Amino acid sequence: MDWDGARIIGTEENKLKRWIKEAMEIRRRAERAMNRDEGGFMLSHTWDTTLQRKHAWWDGRVVGLTMTCHYGVDVVGPAHLETLLGVPQIPAVKTCQLTCHAVSETLLRKDRVLAKLSSRYFLWKLVTVLLMQTPWQNSFIWPLVVFLLSCCIYPLASSCAHTFSTMSARARHICFFFDYGALSFYSLGSAIIYSAYVFPDKWVSSSFHRWYIPIAVFNTVICTFLACYSRLGLPFLQYNHDIVKRFPEYQSPKFSKFLRVAAFAYPYLFDNIPLFYRVFLCVGEGCTDNGTNILHYKHIALAFLTGFLFATHLPERLAPGSFDYIGHSHQLFHVCSVLGTHFQMQALEQDMVTRRPWLVHNSFPITFSNSGGPALFCVLLNLAIIALFSLPLLSAPVCKEKDHGKGPKKASAKPRPCC
């Protein structure tokens, strides 16, 4: 090796930025690279074709892509790479050209299509219930309506969050704030319908049953707050439009992931206390042992599998690059969550039909205060929390290019990207 003829092609003090630039340069050079490995950043091989394309505008600064990585951050999009590498985005047309060649992004779009289809399926079920069951004349159906409404919202919010999150850093955070709010609303919808149809006979009208929904509302608020906090920290105190005093998510993904998993696992485990007791622990009379339990078993199994996939990023963690086309944990996550919600809905409908005569005479009467009222209150609180966390990002100034003269611009001047 001719060390005298070696030259430095770039310098970077930030370790993560340096790893990303190194991995992109190694992948771009392909066989001409002399590195023994692929660098410190595990870049997906689905981008080999894109990174090795010979275009005049390629100079190692391409950030208008959405690439799958295995560094702990689920998806690195344009805003992420712009923040990491400190370079402006390329024009929108070239961004589209790159995206068309990104298989990983194509598969993420398939996940979004699945989310949209599932949302339409649950919307069809909701319309069927509204037309066939006439809930405006029968308050016993109200918990089912609230639950189906939450089932329609959370896949749609997830799809919109992944679709519009690549617009900018601000858009990504705000979109996922709404995604977290929709998921917490779904957890409350599950609690409301569990209180109406699922509680075992011996727990019906007990003190725990009386306080079950108020505690679920409180858990929903905590869930939304913690999930939003896991991204940037406390609004105004730890971040605003141009200052992030707390760690960014991409620099400490494990802590952010832990907070997010805890934020959604806690309300789920609480909401399912009556169901877990009914199907796993209860023995003897008053246990509500009927044919619906097999559907509850399927839902519980898929729910735990969904959480496992979200927390562990398996199987791509074991073989990076091998599951970028099919079998990625995010794909399996969406499939399992939708199937689990489907079995949950079937079990709840069956419980509602088979237990209705007994519940009407022995349980609390279903009113607006224990069905639609908590759901509406939860929506308002979630919107307030989302607005609180989004306000520092929405207050960012609009960047405008100023022409101070007709002379040529200095070579050292760098464009200042807006979030």
Peptide bond just before 315 cis, omega within 30 deg: yes
CA 89 to CA 196: how far, in whole Å? Answer: 52
Amino acid at 323: F
DSSP line for 165-180: TTS-HHHHHHHHHHHH
Binding residues: 162, 330, 334
The set of residues, in sequence order, having a beta carbon less than 8 Å from that of 257 and lying 6+ positions away, is 72, 230, 311
The set of residues, in sequence order, having a beta carbon less than 8 Å from that of 69 and lying 6+ positions away, is 41, 42, 43, 44, 75, 76
The sign one gets for the Cα dihedral 141, 143, 146, 150 is negative
Distances in Å between the Cα of 303 and the Cα atoms of 64, 91, 310, 313 are 35, 41, 11, 15
Q: How many CB atoms lie within 10 A of CB 249?
A: 23
Instruction: Give the largest CA-CA distance in the chain.
Output: 90
CA 241 to CA 169: how far, in whole Å? Answer: 10
Tokens of 388: 């609180």
**Closest to 161 measured CA to CA, from 72, 231, 237, 92:** 231
**Closest to 141 measured CA to CA, from 99, 197, 89, 85:** 197
Binding residues for Zn(2+): 162, 330, 334
CB 263 within 8 A of CB 226: yes
Q: Cα 368 to the chain's mean position, in Å?
A: 30
Tokens of 289: 């042992």
Phi, psi of 291 (to 5 degrees): -70, -10
CB 354 within 8 A of CB 124: no
Q: Nearest 5°: CA angle at 254, between 169 and 341?
A: 80
